[in-house]
Chains A and B, each alone.
Chain A
Amino acid sequence: MAARAEIAQRTGKKGDTARRTDLTGYLFVLPFLIAYGLFLVWPVILGLRMSFFDWSLVGTGTTDFLGLANYRELFADPDFWASLWHTILFTLLTTPPLVLLALGLALLANRAVPARWFFRLAFFAPYVLPVSTVALIWVWLYQPGFGLINSYLVSLGLPEVDWLAGENVAMISVAIATVWWTIGFNFVLYLAGLQEIPEELYEAGALDGAGSYQQTRYITIPLLSRTTFLVLVLQILASLIVFDQIYIMNTQGGLNYTATRPVIQYIYEQGFTQYRIGFGAAISYVFFVMILVFTIMQFVLSRRRRREA
């Protein structure tokens, strides 16, 4: 009906008003669109263009057109595949604990326990810390000998673990630090989801004699499935773009480099330390497309879920 009124407005003698409305509307969105175009859309286009050139950061920037050569080189590059594997491994190691542990803690904190503010503080506080603070603290905790974790292991009669340099352990160490750092985000999302479950359901459940286990199992968890899906998707997307903590622990703490370097770090190195920004752009694009495929997949999946619900 609004649309019909609009059309009537436009075709009728009020055509001027409609045009004014259009103009006003665009004036409101224009400042954002300019920023959006310059710092989001344009880099996306520029990156695609660069990926077809032998574009270098040094000197005048040799810009010979290469066609698909950057992409061909990339697919044959074992370092690219290794870095992609590290990114996926990091995602596999961080996602399950970040979702399940957050859910468990939120379920516990949502009961009538004393000092709930304190728990929210304890689990959420690390999330607001800058990544460098987090990386430096964990590098310190992971030290051999006088590192807190190893010294506790030794006092328990266990052997020391080579947390940072150990080839098989390094990524696990990064994952532990990351879980500690970011769990508060998922924890809060779950607490918000828990608040949306209507109280009546629990009252009805209690009247039917459901204990707290049954209530959790048959009321809470199913009704939280939307939140779980959201947490899962956001978590995977966040894990896939890992760079900061691994890079800082690599450069500042001797974290095993060959066992942890993720894709974004490979892009950074190719672009900014090898000065091969055309090649760096090509890696970015391949990785971007992979993330896009995942995003679209989850979008389709969530629409189907909603239709079924």
Chain B
Amino acid sequence: MTVTEARTPGEIQEKTAGTGRRRLGNWLAFGVLLVAAIIWLIPLAWAIDTALKTEADTTVIPVSWIPPSGFTFESFVEVLSAGNMLRWYFNSALTSSAITVIVVVLASLAAFGISRVPFRGRSVVFWLILAGLMVPPQVLIVPLFTEMDFFGLIDTYPGIILPQIASPLAVFIFKQFFDGLPHELEDAARVDGASRLRIYWQIWMPLSRPVIAAVAIFTFVLSWNNFILPFIMVTNTEMMTIPVGLATVQSSYGVRYADIMASAVLGGLPLIIVFLFFQRQLVQGIANTGLKG
């Protein structure tokens, strides 16, 4: 189910009946899309434009895309050298990577067990896990904080990581995938006396690369962008992640729009890069959530 390569009804229409009216329709669609896309890109362009201005030029009326005193990287330099931006990058990268690895390992193991090992009570276990999809983490902030406080994990990396490692959705996606794989390979391996753990690791994981990639990229983006959890688990500026730290910049810079936009752009940059490289897997990850309907 790749969204990218499949043929569109439009193309088919062209093959079957390439009328002028249809081509006109396609150009009309193109025009509407182009206008929409430009509207969609303006906020991003304006943020970058502002970040490249001198502070004085940001509040000039009437507004102008081309600042009177020219473009400058001052604000980017300022934000990177004076603020905690680099530290927040590090915190986000560390916690999101840890969450991603743990989610993939825990969820794929559980899904393998449920899908491939005929143990008693596995359907009960599966339904119990699925029930977790109905619990939005947002309603758990109070007890989760109390629990992490009890463990002494406030303002620590585990305090940010642990509450995000149990993903019922990841188990579900892996199980769907495992259910669809043929038995033959596994049967042959079992006849040869391979343990189930070896089958999981040496046969199943290599076969699952596309689904691992989709779950991993999706988990990484979601945990990098998670605001509320690190927000309640962290009070120390040094321990903040990018989204949490950025939500304090107005208070620390005052009303300095070029600096604020520079931090906003820098905060978004890593994920835009991830997106450009892994667009396919990300889109696949979302399409997978669609399959559960």
A residues at B contact (CB < 8 Å): 2, 6, 21-29, 31-33, 35-36, 38-44, 46-47, 50, 55, 105, 108-114, 117-126, 128-133, 135-138, 140-141, 145-148, 151, 154-155, 180, 185, 188-189, 191-197, 199, 202-203, 206-207, 211-212, 215, 220, 226-227, 229-230, 234, 237, 240-241, 243-244, 247-248, 251-253, 264, 267-268, 271-272, 277, 280-281, 284-285, 287-288, 291-292, 295, 302
> B171 at interface (Cβ–Cβ under 8 A)?
yes
The answer to whether B143 and A47 have CB atoms under 8 Å apart is yes
Closest Cβ of chain A to B231, distance in Å, is 8
The answer to whether A50 and B146 have CB atoms under 8 Å apart is yes
> B52 at interface (Cβ–Cβ under 8 A)?
no
B residues at A contact (CB < 8 Å): 1-4, 6-14, 16-17, 21-22, 25-26, 29-30, 32-33, 36-37, 40-44, 46-47, 50, 58-63, 102, 105-107, 109-110, 112-114, 117-120, 122, 125, 129, 132, 134-136, 138-147, 162-166, 168, 171, 196, 200, 221, 224-225, 227-228, 232, 242-247, 249-251, 257, 260-261, 263-265, 267-268, 271-272, 274-275, 279, 282-283, 286-287, 289-290, 292-293
- B171 (CB) vs chain A CBs: closest residue: A32
Q: How far is the CA of A244 from the CA of B225 in the complex (A)?
A: 11
> Chain B contacts of A202 at CB under 8 A?
9, 12-13
Closest Cβ of chain B to A65, distance in Å, is 17
The answer to whether B257 and A188 have CB atoms under 8 Å apart is no
> Chain A contacts of B12 at CB under 8 A?
199, 202-203, 206
> Chain B contacts of A243 at CB under 8 A?
138, 227-228
Q: A252 and B251 in contact (CB under 8 A), knowing A25-B118, A29-B125, A113-B33?
A: yes
The answer to whether A111 and B17 have CB atoms under 8 Å apart is no
Closest Cβ of chain A to B62, distance in Å, is 6
Partner of A28, one of B113, B129, B228, B290: B113
> Chain A contacts of B40 at CB under 8 A?
122-123, 126, 180
Closest Cβ of chain A to B100, distance in Å, is 14
Closest Cβ of chain B to A241, distance in Å, is 4
The answer to whether B1 and A133 have CB atoms under 8 Å apart is no
> Chain B contacts of A271 at CB under 8 A?
141-142, 145
Q: How far is the CA of A28 from the CA of B142 in the complex (A)?
A: 31
The answer to whether A136 and B165 have CB atoms under 8 Å apart is no
> Chain B contacts of A146 at CB under 8 A?
58-61, 63
The answer to whether B132 and A40 have CB atoms under 8 Å apart is yes
> Chain A contacts of B37 at CB under 8 A?
118-119, 122-123
Partner of B140, one of A47, A105, A145: A47
The answer to whether B227 and A132 have CB atoms under 8 Å apart is yes
Q: Chain A's interface: helix, strand, loop or mixed, by majority?
A: helix
Q: How far is the CA of A43 from the CA of B136 in the complex (A)?
A: 12
> Chain A contacts of B43 at CB under 8 A?
126, 137-138, 141, 180
The answer to whether B44 and A126 have CB atoms under 8 Å apart is yes
Closest Cβ of chain A to B245, distance in Å, is 8
Q: How far is the CA of A246 from the CA of B165 in the complex (A)?
A: 26
The answer to whether B113 and A25 have CB atoms under 8 Å apart is yes
> Chain B contacts of A227 at CB under 8 A?
290, 293
Closest Cβ of chain A to B151, distance in Å, is 9
The answer to whether A36 and B129 have CB atoms under 8 Å apart is yes
Closest Cβ of chain B to A43, distance in Å, is 4
25 contacts between A and B (CB under 8 A): A2-B118, A43-B147, A44-B135, A46-B147, A110-B8, A112-B13, A119-B37, A123-B40, A128-B275, A130-B225, A130-B271, A136-B261, A136-B263, A137-B46, A140-B47, A147-B63, A148-B46, A151-B61, A192-B287, A195-B3, A195-B6, A220-B9, A244-B228, A277-B142, A291-B139
